[in-house]
Structure 1
């Protein structure tokens, strides 16, 4: 079941570029990026809270900060201190605006109350964690590490609920909106569809491709590792991105790839849909600029000019605001726009 869409009007593709062209991206300067250099401060993860009135960034220099998008000065932000390694992922609880989770190279998962600026729970000993995703109901989450182990966690317990070792290189996990299955990207270029919470394959082949192999059905859309996946807010398409510079759009009814977006310069590191599911953008750590594509037609509708590569991208959950990392700095385009676009 797809989440209920906000009562917002969608921007027609013919008006998309003219709407964003005059807008200037707002920069959010962190003192860490100025004192230590943009390379050491590179942003690894960006996350909006459910209402879109807070945005968190996690960086390679251990800086975890929560910003007010309307107030770019750092004095209006909150730094959450406690991790001893690079922050790999941050994510807000999808049903609680002030509960944030972060994972780090220190092997610790931390749960924060951003109102009180305190860590309310932590889970240690998970290894080099690389992925993090909340279940849609906000009652559990999945964290993965470099040893290809997926941990199911509760935000209220200090130890994992369960652990599941995977047989292939596992990179990222994304939930379906019902919370009953997850999509797991792999180093083999495939995406697995697993049940939740037992994490067993759901789809099977009628005939094995290899007599000695598995009968598990996977989405095969990339010629190199598939590193990111994102489900459209409407639930119709699953987007996957690989190091082959391709974004594939899969119809979730029959799992057929409907179209590919192949105009990115480097590996696709992140993918994000607009709140209405009409537009998609991919982030890469090569090249510059961000190309926005109309999902249903595959048409290119706009290019956001950037100073450098933008590996992390994230559309706001309630409006047309695009947050992205650009040479170690958080930038948001559209945050100051109150004009009508319909």
Structure 2
């Protein structure tokens, strides 16, 4: 399938004092998304105004974040492998868990009763929620398992690894059904589109790969000027938000650290 060059509108969301390492949309409110930054805060943004509507201070430099499927809780992890669960309405901490292994990315399952973590040993750790008791550990990749995302339709989840592979997993059987191998660098970030038909993945390659989930074929390639930290599809529309490694103006002196960009893709995708 041909690679398309997208000419689309771009919005920037500025406010963090350090790079934005990850972002995610509210699971049901299409106007809100949350970002995690190394500046020891998370910020909730409103796309209608491009303004930050809430800033929550955290204990450490944040590297991963996710919103629970019921919209009630935000989980944020930092560089010390501490995951904090924050009430999405009061913006106060509800619980905190210190893990004894390297936690790379976190996610609830779609039923909101299990919590998944990827770790530095190439494994996926599955915990009960809200008890956070170990259920199962899966050997997913031969090297560092970096990121994980769930399909909104509840059929698949995907993992990305330092081996530059994206693996697609059957949720019920917990088996790998397909691999995507177009990236050359460790896969940093993944996101499924709202209808579960597209999977975006990115790394230090200066593009975001957008694949058709059921066939693995490339649909689009979004060009970037620097490595991409995080990608996140809008919960209801073909809009892709992402943040790149623009800290200290290393790649483009006209850009500021902590900037999130929003791209709209064709409606007939």
TM-score using structure 2 length: 0.79
- Does structure 2 conserve the Cα–Cα contact (< 8 Å) formed by 1:228 and 1:240? yes
Choose the corresponding residue for 2:239, options 312, 315, 321: 321
Counterpart for residue 311 of structure 1: 229
Q: 2:135 matched to which residue of 1?
A: 202
Alpha-carbon distance in structure 2 between the residues aligned to 1:128 and 1:333:
27
Secondary structure at the counterpart of residue 183 of structure 1: strand
What residue in structure 2 maps to residue 28 of structure 1?
11
Deviation per residue, 1:262-286 (Å, 9 max, x gap):
21121211100010001101121x1
Structure 2: stretches of 5+ with no match in the other structure: 247-258
Q: Determine the structure 2 residue equivalent to 1:244.
A: 163
Distance in 2 between residues matched to 1:55 and 1:159, nearest whole Å? 17
2:99 and 2:153 mapped to 1: Cα distance? 29
Could you tell which deviates more after superposition, 226-235 or 138-147? 138-147
Q: CA deviation at 1:146?
A: 3.2
Deviation at 1:244, TM superposition (A): 1.9
Q: Deviations over 1:134-176 (max 9, x none)?
A: 3322333433333333344445678754443333222221001
Aligned to 1:52: 30
Structure 1: runs of 5 or more not aligned: 1-13, 34-39, 70-75, 81-99, 103-107, 110-125, 204-217
Change (3 A) 1:181 1:279: same
Check the 8 A contact 2:6/2:222 in 1, yes or no: no
Q: Is the 8 A contact 2:13 2:51 kept in 1?
A: no
Task: Give me the whole-angstrom Cα distance separating, in 2, the residues matched to 1:131 and 1:196.
Answer: 18
Question: 2:214 aligned with 1:296, yes or no?
Answer: yes
Contact 2:169 2:177 in 1 (8 A): yes
Matches for 1:2-151 after TM superposition, within 5 Å: 21=4, 23-29=6-12, 42-49=19-26, 50-55=28-33, 66=45, 68=47, 76-79=49-52, 102=56, 108-109=57-58, 126-151=59-84
Q: Distance in 2 between matches of 1:164 and 1:63?
A: 18
Is the CA contact (8 Å cut-off) linking 2:31 and 2:47 kept in structure 1?
Answer: yes
Partner of 2:177: 258
SS of residue paired to 2:228: coil
TM-score, with structure 1 as normaliser: 0.64
Once the 2 structures are TM-superposed, how far is the Cα of residue 57 of structure 1 from its aligned partner?
5.0
Instruction: For residue 58 of structure 1, report the CA deviation from its aligned partner.
Output: 5.4
User: For residues 304 and 144 of structure 1, do their structure 2 counterparts lie closer, same or farther at Cα, with a shift above 3 Å needed?
Assistant: closer
Aligned residues: 255
The one-character-per-residue Cα deviations of 1:33-61 (angstroms, maximum 9, x if unpaired) are 9xxxxxx8643233334332345555556
The aligned counterpart of 2:148 is: 229
Alignment equivalent of 1:185, drawn from 118, 126, 138: 118
Alignment correspondent of 1:287: 205
Which of the pair has more CA radius of gyration? 1
1:219 matches 2:130 = no
**Counterpart in the other structure of 1:91:** none
8 Å Cα contact 1:63-1:79 kept in structure 2 = no
